[in-house]
Structure 1
Amino acid sequence: MVVSQGAFAVMVFTDRWFLAQIDAVHVASAMGGGVAAFFSMSLFIGLISYANALVAQYHGAGQMQRCPRVVTQGVIIAVCALPLLALIGIGMGQAFPHLGHDPLQVPLERAYYYTLMAGSFFQLIKICLASYFVGIGRTQVVMAVNIAGICLNIPLTWTLIFGRMGMPELGIVGAALGTIVAQFLVIGLYLTIYFHRQHRLRFAVMDSFVLDKGVMRRYLRLGTPSALESFMNTATFNIFLLMFQGYGVVQGASMAIVFNWDMLSFVPMMGLSIGVMTLIGRFVGAEDMERANQVISSGFILALSYSGLLALLFLIFRVELVEVFATDDAYFDEIRTLAPMMMIGLCTYMMADAVILIASGVLRGAGDTRWIMFTSTSLHWLMLVAQYFVIVRWKMDPLVSWWVFVAMLLTISTAYAVRLYRGRWRHPERLARVMQE
């Protein structure tokens, strides 16, 4: 799962590196449009991706025939989401001119956003299938499929952005189109394995194409808090990002560069978090909390070791890492000053990210999604209120805003660690309620 999520990080990283060969405005626009697209899909992504924990719980309990039924319920949810995604896409697309961004940035952001939203349904299906295979422990499948996707995406994106090998020169739209085309390949590979005879017979796949009210109730009861948390947190982050980009192209591009390097830490650890959630869900279903404790210890050792080493490297080579995205326009002289300072903040919160991701993986796998929703959402919105005064009302320096963001992540990591340590989530009666349909 670390390799799988790392492949996604490499894909996004290379997309933005290609766009940096055009100018800094394209880099900032890809950041704004990409985050807006994720925000628009986040409610449904948060809900559908909870298929991972559900499948793992059924798998651990030995209820194999229930596992593919989770996929069917996820597809039903994705189909029902289509009208809402269309309305959200139209509304958000019309909002870009009113966000105070540089006039050069707005049409690029909007074009990138609309293209990604056109493929939103396929994104949800891909997430549902990936969550299923992780839930049954076939993580090698997810890794192989994601690597195949990136092997198509990177060269295709290069040809579409710059108009190579007979392809039209589409610029930022080409970056989004490359992502969508790669999704078709990924979905096709997942379905090939899903309907393979051996897998089909073992999990009774052909009997799963029904609306299973019991599975759907569990999906909605446990997944909705996770979905709302994802949506609300993405909303706060998106609003913060948009407010921060209101400082100008220099600040927006600096943030895009820093978050590009952040992905090399955060996204692979998301894979580790998914693995932790899967194993915790399996051992909750099997009522084996001793093994669950081993998962927690192993998860923290791996995450803190990885993020700690990377934070040290980022701190030492922060200037050189920013120079990787150097552009030939006038903006980069100022970016060269601001972005390395923001990299120090990144190094500060990377260990906090590790704690958040492992702790949240444990709590989600155990079904403690309501507590996560209330705690994380409250702290994110508190940060947003502080950012409103720092950026809009008091017009303080961008670095002040950045350190407020860092402080929020440190606070969330502390809250998650305390929840995990106190252990209310592991009480037998609570776990029994989680497994009820």
Structure 2
Amino acid sequence: MAISQTSRAQDIPSVRAIFDLAWPLTLKAIMLHGIVVIDGYLVSSLGESAVAVLGLSASIAGLLLGLIVAFSNATQIRIAQAFGSADAVFLKSALLAGLVINVGVVLIGLALLAFFAGDVIDTLAHDAWIADEARRYLSVFALVVLAESVGHCLTSFFNGCGQTRLPALSYLVAVPVNVVASVVLIHGHFGAPQLGVVGAAWGSVLASVLQVGFLAVVLLWRRRDLLRVAGWRNGSFAASLRRHLVFALPIAATFGSATVALHVCGLIYADLPVNQFAAMTIIMPWVQVAGTFGMSWAQSTGIIVAQLLGRGTSGPDLDRFLAGAWRAAIVAAGVVAAFYAGICLSTPWIYAELHAETQRTLLSFLPILVLLPFPKGSNAICGNTLRAGGETVYVMHIFVWSQWLFRVPATALMVLYLELPVFWVFSLLLAEELVKFPPFHLRLLRGRWKRGGVME
């Protein structure tokens, strides 16, 4: 009996296994944010109007890219379940179903953009030149969106199989190409055409195609056997596609709701006094970038939980794994909190050119930022674990209702009616996590997710 228990304990992944998955996910996320920053920097040399073109185009294309990420996240969980079960039919079905859904969503989205994006651009653009350039940029960037629909699915496959370093490596290859190609095509170096803002779009196209090609070649090299696997998970490809879509839709709705809520709150922030609005504009990207480590840790935990559930791991073993993951997550949250503290305390030097009131406002965010990573990281582990166990609808409800019944109306009340200082508006980030904390943790403790239809 003792030998059997020792054997099972050896089968439970360690905290090091989570770290091995998490750091490439963190690197990839930081590089994704970096691409936006780098493109903005490269285009800024063309003037404020060119930056406006990039910002307008990115806002529109970002909606489609967000949907791709959402559906790919669902595919990643299904792949992890299939990988854990060692079922090649399940693995093939999840990969191809996810690929078809991604491409289908993008094609529908691009068709809608072709019909409606022009009116949106004309409404939001400051002048005719910006509107015309934004149309040109989007017409090229559509190729990036199409390539990313395939690339994110392939990334989900490798992540779900525990090979997170390969997608990170693909970005290490693609990002330098993006930068060099964009510089050459924006300014017309080495005899290339001078395309201006559109040159940045073509640089992104070249990088995306290279990245997708890299992942596709690696997939065919490592898993060519999947091409010879006969049959489908649910009896037919159509049935497998429907099952995958049912699993994915709540996750897509969760991400979509978060994106819309973020943009709505951003519009409300614009009504703040200028110094306070500037402080919010500066701090929010830092919150997103630094928070990627905690989120990557939770995502890696979810991948391993899905693999364990697919393997049929028992409840006590799952509890033991999660206990270790949580202890390490507290450490990760402490690292993120320390980073936030460093940013806040360094604002007089980092943003020396800003008004003193703006600097004081940034410093006032310190107490919230020090506390935020702890409930946020714990909630993220709960959410990813529950999704891995098939409870995607429950997770969707927690996110949607906490956003639309609490954070968005509270933001509007504080800014538009009560006109409270921005400290209290910013504190809603922490308050939202505290609102989500009880329903997430109580549901996890119930343990229903441990038997939640993973093998369907």
Normalising to structure 1: TM-score of the pair? 0.81
DSSP-derived class of the 2:245 partner: helix
Deviations 1:152-207 (A, max 9, x none): 334555666777777777776665554443222211111001111x5202x33676
Mapped contact 2:344–2:365 kept (Cα < 8 A): no
Counterpart Cα distance in 2 of 1:125 and 1:348: 38
Give RMSD over aligned pairs: 3.9
| Equivalence map 1:61-72=2 (5 Å) | 61-72=85-96
- Given the alignment of the two structures, is residue 140 of structure 1 paired with residue 161 of structure 2, yes or no? no
Deviations 1:330-389 (A, max 9, x none): x76664444343455333312222112211111111111010011111001121122222
| Equivalence map 1:328-343=2 (5 Å) | 335-342=358-365
| More displaced stretch, 182-191 vs 59-68 | 59-68
Identity %: 19
Report the equivalent of 1:424: 448
**Aligned counterpart in structure 1 of residue 390 of structure 2, from 367, 390, 393:** 367
Residue type of the partner of 1:308? Answer: G
Mapped contact 1:35–1:238 kept (Cα < 8 A): no
Counterpart Cα distance in 1 of 2:197 and 2:426: 27
Deviations 1:237-269 (A, max 9, x none): 121123223547765654343233223332233
Counterpart Cα distance in 2 of 1:121 and 1:293: 40
Residue type of the partner of 2:154? Answer: L
Counterpart Cα distance in 2 of 1:217 and 1:174: 40
- Given the alignment of the two structures, is residue 292 of structure 1 paired with residue 312 of structure 2, yes or no? no
Counterpart Cα distance in 1 of 2:56 and 2:421: 20
Residue type of the partner of 1:435? Answer: M
Q: Against the structure 1 CA distance between its residues 406 and 112, is the aligned structure 2 distance closer, same or farther, given a 3 Å change threshold?
A: farther
Counterpart Cα distance in 2 of 1:19 and 1:179: 13
- Given the alignment of the two structures, is residue 348 of structure 1 paired with residue 374 of structure 2, yes or no? no
Mapped contact 1:122–1:184 kept (Cα < 8 A): yes
DSSP-derived class of the 2:86 partner: coil
How many matched pairs? 426
DSSP-derived class of the 2:223 partner: helix
Report the equivalent of 2:433: 409
CA shift, 1:405, in A, is 3.1
Mapped contact 2:290–2:339 kept (Cα < 8 A): no
- Given the alignment of the two structures, is residue 358 of structure 1 paired with residue 358 of structure 2, yes or no? no
Report the equivalent of 1:435: 455
Deviations 1:370-429 (A, max 9, x none): 100111110011211222223334444443322223311332244322322232322x3x
Residue type of the partner of 2:337? Answer: A
- Given the alignment of the two structures, is residue 77 of structure 1 paired with residue 101 of structure 2, yes or no? yes
DSSP-derived class of the 2:291 partner: helix
Deviations 1:193-249 (A, max 9, x none): 1111x5202x33676899712321221121111111111122111211232235477
| Equivalence map 1:175-190=2 (5 Å) | 178-190=203-215
DSSP-derived class of the 2:346 partner: helix
Residue type of the partner of 1:341? Answer: S
CA shift, 1:128, in A, is 0.8
DSSP-derived class of the 2:372 partner: helix
Counterpart Cα distance in 2 of 1:307 and 1:319: 18
If asked which structure has higher relative contact order (CA below 8 Å, sep 6+), I would say 1
Mapped contact 2:57–2:134 kept (Cα < 8 A): yes
Mapped contact 2:302–2:385 kept (Cα < 8 A): yes
| Equivalence map 1:27-426=2 (5 Å) | 34=58, 37-81=61-105, 82-88=107-113, 91=116, 94-95=119-120, 114=138, 119-156=144-181, 178-196=203-221, 198-201=222-225, 203-204=226-227, 212-247=237-272, 254-289=279-314, 290-320=316-346, 323-324=349-350, 335-342=358-365, 344-382=367-405, 383-426=407-450
Counterpart Cα distance in 2 of 1:230 and 1:282: 23
Mapped contact 1:56–1:285 kept (Cα < 8 A): yes
Q: Against the structure 1 CA distance between its residues 239 and 61, is the aligned structure 2 distance closer, same or farther, given a 3 Å change threshold?
A: same
Report the equivalent of 1:4: 25
Higher gyration radius (CA): 2
CA shift, 1:304, in A, is 2.2
Counterpart Cα distance in 1 of 2:286 and 2:447: 34
CA shift, 1:325, in A, is 6.2
Residue type of the partner of 1:307? Answer: A
Q: Against the structure 1 CA distance between its residues 90 and 272, is the aligned structure 2 distance closer, same or farther, given a 3 Å change threshold?
A: farther
Residue type of the partner of 2:75? Answer: A
Q: Against the structure 1 CA distance between its residues 16 and 224, is the aligned structure 2 distance closer, same or farther, given a 3 Å change threshold?
A: same
Normalising to structure 2: TM-score of the pair? 0.78
Residue type of the partner of 2:455? Answer: M
Report the equivalent of 1:16: 37
| More displaced stretch, 15-24 vs 266-275 | 15-24
Counterpart Cα distance in 2 of 1:107 and 1:248: 29
Mapped contact 2:81–2:307 kept (Cα < 8 A): yes
Residue type of the partner of 1:339? Answer: L
Residue type of the partner of 2:91? Answer: C
Deviations 1:87-145 (A, max 9, x none): 2576467447768x999xx9699679846555222222211111111222222322322
